[in-house]
Amino acid sequence: MSKVEAILSQLKDIAANPKKAMDDYKAETGKGAVGVMPIYAPEEMIHATGYLPMGIWGAQGKTISKARTYLPPFACSIMQQVMELQCEGAYDDLAAVLFSVPCDTLKCLSQKWKGTSPVIVFTHPQNRGLEAANTFLVKEYELVKAQLEHYLGVKITNADLERSIAIYNENRAVMREFVKVAADYPQVIDAVSRHAVFKARQFMLKEKHTELVKELIAEVKAMPVQPWTGKKVIVAGILLEPNELLDIFNEFGLAIVDDDLAQESRQIRVDVLDGEEGPLYRMAKAWQQMYGCSVATDTKKGRGKMLMNKMAQTGADAVIIAQMKFCDPEEWDYPVLYREFEERGVKNLMIEVDQEVTSFEQVKTRLQSFVEMM
């Protein structure tokens, strides 16, 4: 097994076995884990406690039965899965769960956790251009910090926070570099591997993830760049899973050269900037700087332009929108994106992502005809 294969295999294992990742961490450090609900949270604060932040992004192919009592079928697919897992006690080992509420579904879900872990809720301000929004978010973060300290029995110092911010900034920078490397070497980093590298960072300490990804990048970059005979695409949406779906991308020679997925590149889009202000304020500022996301209000709707810029930068042939089933913020963005793409002759396709689904024949047919059309 080559070094590249070994690293990818390790990351794939972690991505596929979050429970094991958490148990190993506990065994190794004696500390537990804190769940982080989608989409954005001040994870650095959890990291600063020494607990492992664990992303909660649903599961694949679980039949919804217990959750049906609490959620109608038109709730978003991830939340159906999360609710099902809550009912099964899958998250009960978490020391706490951090909950942001940037959409109506998350507002409701934040009030109905069925597991035993304490839930810490905070709200992102949406009038993000205003300084008052930063001040508001600092207050929310102060409450998050106080609750984390209470539930975990630790004290979060500014020094700890600054260290965690630096670790997260480095990880984000390395991941942005990884996106470019994956675009240049689709023969080495295929769609499944690319996703695994992103997903594993949800279940690992970021400094360890950074180390592995740096090593991966160095190994890959030592190889010669080969011409890509397939097509290049940018994917956008909440997430693009499972591997069976990504296998279809591989099968039809679709290289993912960049993404605007909430689970992937949106997590690494903006850093916490250096500055004279305190860490909580600078973390709040990062939310102000966020762009191109369906749950970060933007009255100019720059997301289409951002995607088209990404196409120009990467030489992508098309954009594929992975529409999370019943996710209305994304559904509201789609008609504007579609019009902008059509007006500018950008090839685009929308496919539906439903975590409960286990058969991908329909998506396969659609992707196949899309590739043929290109």
Q: Which is nearer to other proteins, 132 or 218 (CB)?
A: 132
Footprint of other proteins on 293-322 (CB under 8 A): 294-295, 297-301
Shortest separation between residue 252's beta carbon and other proteins, angstroms: 24
- Work out whether 166 is an interface residue with other proteins (CB under 8 A): no
- Work out whether 107 is an interface residue with other proteins (CB under 8 A): yes
Stretch that binds other proteins, among 98-106, 156-164, 176-184, 356-364 (CB under 8 A): 98-106
Question: Are residues 78 and 263 in contact, defined by beta-carbon separation less than 8 angstroms?
Answer: no
- Work out whether 335 is an interface residue with other proteins (CB under 8 A): yes
Residue 82, Ramachandran bin (φ over 0: left; ψ between -120 and 50: alpha; else beta): alpha
Shortest separation between residue 18's beta carbon and other proteins, angstroms: 26
> Binding residue for other proteins (CB under 8 A) from 60, 123, 187, 243?
123
- Which pairs count as long-range contacts for 344-349, CB under 8 Å and 24+ apart, including other chains? 344/308, 346/308, 346/311, 346/318, 346/319, 347/317, 347/318, 347/319, 347/373, 347/374, 348/318, 348/319, 348/320, 348/321, 349/318, 349/319, 349/320, 349/321
The token pair at 269 is 């889009």
| Distance of alpha carbon 159 from the chain centroid | 27
Q: Which is nearer to other proteins, 70 or 360 (CB)?
A: 70
> Binding residue for other proteins (CB under 8 A) from 7, 34, 85, 133?
133
- Work out whether 101 is an interface residue with other proteins (CB under 8 A): yes
Question: Are residues 99 and 110 in contact, defined by beta-carbon separation less than 8 angstroms?
Answer: yes
Q: Which is nearer to other proteins, 14 or 133 (CB)?
A: 133
- Work out whether 72 is an interface residue with other proteins (CB under 8 A): yes
> Binding residue for other proteins (CB under 8 A) from 130, 218, 223, 273?
130
d(CA 226, CA 307): 25
Q: Which is nearer to other proteins, 105 or 202 (CB)?
A: 105
Q: Please, what is the end-to-end C-alpha distance for the chain in angstroms?
A: 36
- Work out whether 121 is an interface residue with other proteins (CB under 8 A): yes
Question: Are residues 265 and 258 in contact, defined by beta-carbon separation less than 8 angstroms?
Answer: yes
Stretch that binds other proteins, among 13-21, 55-63, 249-257, 332-340 (CB under 8 A): 332-340
Q: Which is nearer to other proteins, 3 or 112 (CB)?
A: 112
Footprint of other proteins on 35-64 (CB under 8 A): none
Beta bridge partners of 350: 321
Question: Are residues 336 and 304 in contact, defined by beta-carbon separation less than 8 angstroms?
Answer: yes
Residues 6+ apart with CB under 8 A from 11: 196, 197, 200, 212
**Residue the block writes with tokens 């409450």:** 143
Q: Which is nearer to other proteins, 30 or 335 (CB)?
A: 335
Name the CA radius of gyration of the chain, rounded. Answer: 20
- Work out whether 291 is an interface residue with other proteins (CB under 8 A): no
- Work out whether 252 is an interface residue with other proteins (CB under 8 A): no
Tell me, residue by residue from 73 to 92, as one string, x for binding to other proteins by CB under 8 A and - for no binding.
-xx-----------------
The token pair at 240 is 């693009």
Shortest separation between residue 123's beta carbon and other proteins, angstroms: 4
- Work out whether 109 is an interface residue with other proteins (CB under 8 A): yes
Binding site for other proteins (CB under 8 A): 69-72, 74-75, 101-105, 107-112, 121-127, 130, 132-133, 135-136, 139-140, 143, 294-295, 297-301, 323, 326, 328-329, 331-336, 338-339
